[in-house]
A and B are shown apart, each in its own frame.
Chain A
Amino acid sequence: MKKILLFCFLLLLLKIADAQETFPVNGAWDVRPGQYAFINGTIVVSADQTISGGTLLIKDRVIEAVGKGLAVPKGYTTVDLKGKFIYPGLVDAYTTYGMPELPRQAFGFGGFGGVRTLVPVSTKQGAYGWNESIKPEMNAKTIFHADAKNEDLKKNGFSTVQSLIHDGIARGTSVVVSLGDERDNLVMLKDQAAAHYSFSKGTAATNYPSSLMGSIALLRQTYYDAQWYKTQKEEYNISLDEFNRTQSLPQIFEVSDPQSILRADKIAKEFGHQYIYKTDGEEYQRIAAVKATGSSFIVPVNFPAPYDVEDPLDARSITYEQLKNWELAPTNPGVLEKAGVKFAITSYGLTNARDFWTNIRAAITYGLSEKQALNALTTAPAEMLGVADKVGTLTKGKMASFLITSDSLFKADNVIYENWIAGRPYVVSKLGITDLRGNYLLSGDGFANTTLKIGGTPGEYDVNIERSGPDSTRVKGTITRAGDQLSIYFDYKKSPAGIIRLAGYISSVSPLTFKGDAILPDGSQGRWTATFSSAASGSRFPPRDAPKSNLAVGPVVYPFVAFGNATLPKAETVLLKNGTVWTNEKEGILQNADVLIENGKIKAVGKNLASAGAKVIDATGKHISAGIVDEHSHIAATGGINEGTQSVTSEVRIADVLDAEDINLYRQLAGGVTTSHILHGSANAIGGQTQLIKHRWGLLPEEIKLAGSDGFIKFALGENVKGSNNGPLAPGSALRFPQTRMGVEQVYIDAFTRAKEYKAARAVKGSTTRKDLELDALVEILDNKRFITCHSYVQSEINMLMHVSDSMGFHINTFTHILEGYKVADKMKARNIAGSTFSDWWAYKSEVAEAIPYNGKLMHEVGLVTGFNSDDAEMARRLNQEAGKAVTYGHMSEEDALKLVTLNPAKMLHVDNRIGSLKAGKDADVVLWSADPLSVYAVAEKTFVDGVLYWDIDQDAGKRKALAADEARIVQKMLEAKNKGAATQRPNAVRRRLYECESVEEDNFVVADDYTDMERARQAAHEAKNNNGR
């Protein structure tokens, strides 16, 4: 044993010289055979094969032989590993090891319109693409430099990693390297391992994209551009060339939550790819959908620390989602395994590398098998990265990368002694010397009732000194060890204050005992003895053999937020009896009438209906109406509602960024809303494509879409488009065109002129005209396949757009907001344009100076299809009352008033054949109101969407109770975890952003990879805004 110790010591001192052919050597060549035989150990060849008492022979960098009873040839240094284990070296499939730090980008934060410093195209010199965030030309191999000082990965047992440039949407290629402390030329396993992607533009200075939907549109367009590039001869473009070249590599996409996985997977399927996903480790929240992608995953184990919950008022700021995720995150690897999803585990994202093994063990405690854990750390990543022939198992011919451990790798008290990387050892903790961890009774002069606690790992011990009794205290100490000698020092702070130094040695191994001299702060000396009393403790997770009840976790709810359902409600057969039924049909308002719902549709409306087996709901004294339809909403979308960086962004799609977990979907059900039209914001003249959704609470983004409905697109006029309420510009910066209503007209003229020419060019047989998603959307408008809803305020601009549409040959479906619609209603009527307005908003900016609450009444009277919309998550949940205001302002009949928020918006959205009224055959989107639905006193008691009872005021009361109980249960669990010594974090709720037309997101989307940077940027932007006044 001594021999080995000495040898290891020598190895550390005298690094084996690298035998590298092309490099000159100073002095004599020092090439050593590097032949070792590891005998008598338990060799875990792979998750499927273990050899006990086996022999591992290595020569230089390579495994020569593995097996039982192998003869050790001459010239081999023999290492006896009796009682020890050998494992394949671990592979981390996602790191930035050896990559230079990213430059920090200055932010063009601020103003509405998305542009403070105008950077329309790439600032990068050379024949690259137009957008800096698409950089497939970046190759990690050209900037990689081995980082010997980075010990975290090695200490955790990794010998091979993928390293990537963590910046941009298309991030170029990665490398696979070994972690050896050698010349860069010698550690490279694969110089082009994979092509990497994300939704985050990173440090790119180009303004576009400023939103998630912009990122997605850009990526989609890049795929088309790359295809086109192959067919064209005019342009040389390194970025597109490299993009094409790297398509044959594994494609790895960094995403976050399950919805983000589904977003990326939609692109993958669109272009016939299969991405590998690096996630945030929340797949358990939507495991079925995750599984259905058919993809492989790279998942982190950076499970959240418990929150400080002692103060119940502070604890209120922790979201239910955060509480649940704290409890359930450790189940994620196990859930993936159970679902049969292929995955690798990465240490990426851990704030403290020392949590890695604690968390792996936690994952095992919560359902991950040891076998799968080993696979996820060896063969699975090796296969994903195409290096399975080199690493991942201990078989002949593979690299001599392996671990020597004291025990099974996954046991709580296992010690990693040595991490051999390509035939070179890295010593984590010295082999064969005593593990000091444990609790000791400290006695001697001046020490009474004192416990010495040594924890941590044999490589890095933690020491605490606890004194009980009248002067009870607990302080942290420092320990250093050299062989059998050790010294400890600490400071009680009082009685006595000052540093106490202990110098000693291991005097007995069983029980482990230390003895030595103590020097007190006053200089007096004494003797001390520490005798082992119990094993060290202090994991945040219960040990594996803990009773099952401790491992119980709450259910996953859908969606994974407050008021989610553990099981989704189903469509029922329901008979609403004896209510006042607002049919919105020629029958008008029926008294004492019934509505029968069956198979998600309205089966019948009338008097004295009956249906065997229907659940009967007594509606006596109550009102029944069709579900409310909001023509203008910005809920349930994420990553920014405006891509305002260009004046025309018809390529971006709300459909790409739906957030089906927005609590406002539920809150609005509680206001009778069943359908919402989710619009792009109004930062630019031609905004993005919109999406019509139903409030199907708990379903996936794709499932809440109102399938088969016509596509719409948002246009905008006026102050927002001009950017007139933006903050000041960066000095010397140009302005985004247009800045006047004059310019707005020309944006449309230009865009549709281009679209027409584009359409003609594409129609030519054999055309090589580049597919342009922006113009495709405009061509759809010209072809009457996509429909415009245009944000508008004053009569001049409304008139202008009508004239543009006349001259360019397109139809305007709806003017939304249209606060001066009453001034041009006759002109709108002549062109069959609908008006969707606010009931009574005005005075919030210059262009609404003549907005009047009689607008709806006047437009309706002129004969326009008229509606009231919200543009506001709060107002949306009482649109019924907004409709009621038409009764007071202008005395509209109540029957017509309710249509403003039901049938009329359904008409505008071309879905009045399916929703908007109570008629047999239509979707069963039905609301039961406590009173006249237009009255301030009306409460939505039940809301059905497609016959499914998604809102029920009584069930909601039950849900609130259950929510409070579940929160309390998890909080108790957190308190226990904290009492057991787990590190905690401060409550830091992330609240969902509420969007309205004017919301611009670019300042907090820019560096979404790095939330700290993002936060700094956001704060800077916020401060700048405050300083600029209102």
Chain B
Amino acid sequence: MKRTILSLGGLLLGITVAYAQANISPAKPQSKPVVITGATIHVGNGQVINNGYITFDKGKITGVGQGTAPDITGYDVINATGKQVYPGFIAPVTTLGLVEVEEGARGTVDDTETGDLNPHVRSLVAYNTDSKVIPTVRSNGILLAQPTPEGGIISGESSVVQLDAWNWEDAAYKKDMAIHLNWPTAVAGGRRRAPVAVPGVVQETPAQRAQKAVDNITSLFEQAKAYADIAKPEVTNIRFEAMKGLFNGTKKLFIIADGAKEIVQAVSFSKRFGILAVIVGGKESYLVTDVLKENNVPVILRETQTLPDKDEDDVYLPYKLPKMLQDAGVLYGLTGTGFWRQRNLPFEAGQAVGYGLTKEQALSMITMNNAKIMGIDKTTGTLETGKDANLFISAGDALDMISIDVETAFIQGRNINLDNLHKQLYKKFSDKYGFKL
């Protein structure tokens, strides 16, 4: 049987009236194969297929190509002529689901544990699938995220989740995949004058202070690595237990470092311990691309829509940064800021296009590249056969705010509900004023 779903977006909006946020339920597993036809398919790896089709069944992509799909008997058909199909966007290193109200409601904030060394603390268990923020983010095509702890020196470990789930157990896409380290920084900053020398007190320079912190981290990792070699430790150290994965390649070390010096330090540190490292932030990564490239260390840039750090910097430096890494051959991804702002992730990517990147490169940044860096590229990040059907249809260019219009989205083949609190309030007050939507 063949059924054509036309204008699914409109249909969803109709359903909305009856729903409230609490009733935005996770979608049921894919029961029937689906084919999307006539679309412009952005594969995520740079390739664009005009008038393309994509088929998926039981949550997996079964075919992608140009023209008419071979055999689609019994498929649900979505005619997406003139529309765009994208791999689901991926938001790495975010507090989505860990924070509901940023300020003045501490009870809703679960992203920062007390203490400096928390490799054992796991973000996954605090991930709140019922957050009202998540559906607003999903509505702009972000289908996977990496809720990440913050604070201290070692903030904790993160997992990748898919954004349509009943609970964190369902949500887990890749568990405990990375540990997060804040690299000590030697930037002085803010001082008008050097502190007055106090007789008998040796003033520590910021560089010395940072070096001390680096020495402490190095010593910790030495011990953790030695611990990892002990088959049965006499006393179990749950911090070191959590860190074991770093030394056998099952966990990555996400190192937050923005300064060129810090990045170089972090890279040689990870090399010394044979750790799979990812630089997060990387504001000055463009100054040390050779080091990053030689050591195959990727960078997750934190937002393009930000100000340069220094008055002397190119006013457009953050906009141009992706292009600089692209040209230098460094693997780079992108995340947005905080949690609710992740709905702007596509625009953060699109921002780089005016400053040298191609649209498909900008897309790769938040799909394929992020997936590679997070180690989930075998199952997602591009629209290729065998991968999870994490994708969406937009009426227009999804990297541009004037054209993004996510009509239908699938996570692991499940047709998810794109309603959210904001759409509901829009509807509610349009009704009040008698406006037709």
Contact = CB atoms under 8 A, between A and B. Distances in A.
Contact of A317 (B109, B189, B194, B316): B189
B101 A849 contact: yes
A992 B311 contact: yes
B232 to A, nearest CB: 39
Contact of B104 (A724, A861, A873): A724
Interface in A908-952: 930-932, 934-939
Contacts of A840: 343-344
Contacts of B189: 317, 988-989, 991
A844 interface: yes
Contact of A1015 (B109, B192, B287): B192
Nearest to A987: B188
Contacts of B404: 888
Interface in B373-411: 399-405
A887 B400 CA distance: 10
Given A853-B422, A988-B191, A844 B103 contact: yes
Nearest to B131: A843
B31 to A, nearest CB: 32
Contacts of A897: 402
A990 B312 contact: no
A852 B190 contact: no
Contacts of B305: 874-875, 878
Interface in B162-195: 187-195
Counting contact residues on chain A (CB < 8 A from B), the size range is 35 or more
Contacts of B315: 563, 666-667, 670, 956
A956 B421 CA distance: 44
B195 A1012 contact: yes
A890 B433 CA distance: 15
Interface string B83-116: 0000000000000000011111110010010000
Contact of A858 (B195, B351, B429): B429
Given A852-B425, A936-B351, A956-B315, A988 B188 contact: yes
A891 to B, nearest CB: 9
* SS class, residues of chain B in contact with chain A: loop
Contacts of B261: 313
Which of B350, B421, B426 is most buried by chain A, counting CB atoms within 10 A of its CB?
B426
A667 to B, nearest CB: 5
A403 to B, nearest CB: 31
Interface in B186-238: 187-196, 205, 207
B321 interface: no
A638 interface: no
B300 interface: no
A323 to B, nearest CB: 9
B102 A887 contact: no
Interface in B244-301: 259-261, 287
B307 interface: yes
Given A843-B133, A849-B101, A873-B307, A934 B402 contact: yes
A846 B429 contact: no
B53 interface: no
Contacts of B190: 990-991, 1015, 1018
Contacts of B105: 845-846
A875 B309 CA distance: 15
A320 interface: yes
Given A894-B402, A936-B347, A1015 B429 contact: no
B317 to A, nearest CB: 10
A888 B311 contact: no
B68 interface: no
B312 A320 contact: yes
Contact of B101 (A845, A873, A992): A845
B422 A989 contact: no
Which of B101, B306, B355 is most buried by chain A, counting CB atoms within 10 A of its CB?
B101
Nearest to A853: B422
A990 B191 contact: yes
Contacts of A989: 188-189, 310
Nearest to A316: B310
A887 B187 CA distance: 42
A246 B388 CA distance: 82
Contacts of B259: 313
B402 A842 contact: no
A932 B397 CA distance: 14
A719 interface: yes
A854 B422 contact: yes
A587 interface: no
A518 interface: no
A960 interface: yes
Which of B109, B195, B350, B433 is most buried by chain A, counting CB atoms within 10 A of its CB?
B433
Contacts of A930: 354
A885 B401 contact: yes
B311 A320 contact: yes
B104 A936 contact: no
Counting contact residues on chain B (CB < 8 A from A), the size range is 35 or more
A894 B403 CA distance: 11
A665 B101 CA distance: 32
Which of A890, A987, A1015 is most buried by chain B, counting CB atoms within 10 A of its CB?
A1015
A845 B422 contact: no
B261 to A, nearest CB: 5
A852 B355 CA distance: 30
Interface string A786-827: 000000000000000000000000000000000000110110
B354 A854 contact: no
Contact of B405 (A852, A878, A888, A1012): A888
B314 interface: yes
A663 interface: yes
A844 B340 contact: yes
Interface string A856-877: 0110011000000000011100
Contacts of A938: 354
B275 to A, nearest CB: 24
Contacts of B425: 822, 850, 852, 854
Contacts of B192: 988, 990, 1011, 1014-1015
A78 B134 CA distance: 95
A845 B355 CA distance: 34
Interface string A1014-1028: 110010000000000
Interface string A549-563: 000000000000111
A798 B309 CA distance: 37
Contacts of A826: 433
B401 A725 contact: no
B127 interface: no
B316 A1015 contact: no
A939 B103 contact: no
Nearest to A320: B312
A842 B401 contact: no
B429 A888 contact: no
Interface of A: 313-314, 316-317, 319-321, 561-563, 663-664, 666-667, 670, 719, 724-725, 822-823, 825-826, 840, 842-846, 849-850, 852-854, 857-858, 861-862, 873-875, 878, 881, 884-885, 887-890, 894, 897, 930-932, 934-939, 956, 960, 963, 967, 985-992, 994, 1011-1012, 1014-1015, 1018, 1029-1030
29 contacts: A314-B207, A319-B311, A663-B311, A664-B307, A666-B315, A667-B315, A670-B316, A840-B343, A844-B102, A846-B101, A852-B422, A852-B425, A858-B430, A878-B305, A881-B401, A887-B402, A888-B402, A930-B354, A934-B402, A936-B401, A936-B402, A939-B354, A960-B314, A967-B312, A987-B188, A990-B192, A1011-B192, A1012-B196, A1015-B195
Interface of B: 100-106, 109, 112, 133, 187-196, 205, 207, 259-261, 287, 305-312, 314-316, 339-340, 343-344, 347, 350-351, 353-355, 399-405, 421-423, 425-426, 429-430, 433, 435
Sorted nearest first, the 10 A-B pairs with minimum C-beta distance are A936-B350, A854-B426, A1011-B192, A843-B340, A884-B401, A852-B422, A562-B312, A845-B103, A663-B311, A844-B102
Given A873-B307, A878-B351, 4 more contacts: A844-B340, A846-B104, A874-B305, A888-B404
